[in-house]
Structure formats: C-alpha cells, structure tokens
Structure 1
Amino acid sequence: MRTFNHVGIVTDTIPTGAVYNEGLSVWLTDFSKSPNKIEFLKFEPGSCMPELVQKQGHIAYTVSSLEEELKGKKVIFGPAVCDEHLTIAFIEEEGISIELMEIK
C-alpha cells in the first residue's frame, strides 16, 4: 500500500535553503519543512536522474516493501540505497515519475 510522502517540483534556479546532493547532481529542499510537503529540485547538467524526473518532477509515496511494489512496474531509476534507513526507486506510471520510498 502506498502512503503519500511528498511532491517534487523542478525549478530552473537554486531554491532558497536547498542543499546539494553531489551523487545525483541536484539541489533540493527538505520537504519535511514544507507545510505542503513540497521538495523543490534544481538539476545540474550530467545528473544521473531520468529525464522524466528532471523535466516533470514527481510524486513520492512511502511503501512497506519496495521489492513487492516494483514487481511488474516500469522502473526508471534504482533501487538506490540512500542510507541505512532509506531505499528509493522511481517508476513511470500514467506518464509521470513516481518515487517509491522504503523507510526502515
């Protein structure tokens, strides 16, 4: 079962308060500090993220089992272990990118 987590919105300028993720070549804000659960993203050239994510942004959901949720889906990125508590993957569904997050 999916539980809404946040929305990723792509910008063309570095958002106020953004931090740089060198591994993904993206500036991003902390969605947990947004009253509307918005993560603003500014991608740098050479980012490994799929074009769909870089151009349109995404909707993110928390899932209990990433492995189960990915079965039969069109995976466009990942799974990627972010840290000991978080693994993510992106799928394409209904023509948009969906981020799936397994939090331990």
Structure 2
Amino acid sequence: MRTFNHVGIITTEKKEGAMFNEGLSVWLTDYSQSPNKIEWLRFEPGSCLPELVQTQTHMAYTVPDLAAELEGKKVIFGPAVCDEHLTIAFIEEEGIPVEIMEIK
C-alpha cells in the first residue's frame, strides 16, 4: 500500500537550504521542512535522472516493499540505494514520474 510522502517540483531558481546530490546532479530541498511536503529540484547538466523526472512534477510515495511495488510497472529509474535507510525508484504512471520509496 502506498503512503503519500511528498511532491517534487522542478525549478530553475536557487532555493534556500537546498543541498546538492552529487550522484544525481540535482539540488534538493528538504520536503520534511515544508508544510506542504514540497521538494524543490534544480537539475545540473549531466544528471542521470530521466528527462521526464527532470521536466515534470512528481508525486512520491513510501511503500513497505519496493520490489513488490515495481512488479509490472514501467520503471524509468532505479532502484537506487540512497543510503542504508532509503532506496528509491521512479516509475511512469498517467504520463508523470512517480517516485517510490522504501524507508527502513
């Protein structure tokens, strides 16, 4: 079962508090600090994330079992281990990117 986590919105503006993720070449804000659960993303050239992720707003959900959630889905990125607690993947549904997150 999916549980809503955040919404990712693309920007070209520098956002206060954004942190650079070198592996993905993207500046990210901390959605847990946003009352509306917004994660702002500003991409640098050469990001490995698909164009759909770099150009479209995404919804993000947590799931208890990432592998099971990805079965039969159109996976466009990942799974990717972010750290010992987080693994993510992006799928395409209804023409938009959807981030699926497993948090341990």
- TM-score, with length taken from structure 2: 0.98
Match of 1:33 in 2: 33
CA-to-partner distance for each residue in 1:36-69, whole Å, 9 max, x for gaps? 0000000001000110010012100000100000
Residue 29 of structure 1 aligns with an amino acid whose one-letter code is T
Which residue in 2 is equivalent to 1:75?
75
Matched, 1:50 2:26: no
Q: How many residues of Structure 1 are paired with residues of Structure 2 in the alignment? A: 104
| Greater than 4 Å deviation, 4+ residue runs | none
Give the letter for the 1:71 counterpart.
E
What SS class does the counterpart of residue 36 from structure 2 fall into? coil
Give the TM-score of the pair, scaled to structure 1.
0.98
User: Amino acid of the residue matched to residue 30 of structure 1?
Assistant: D
* Secondary structure, aligned partner of 1:53: helix
Question: What's the CA shift for 1:21?
Answer: 0.6
5 Å-filtered alignment, 1:1-104, equals 1-104=1-104
Aligned-residue sequence identity (percent) comes to 77
Counterpart Cα distance in 1 of 2:57 and 2:65: 23
Q: Which runs of 5+ in 2 are unaligned?
A: none
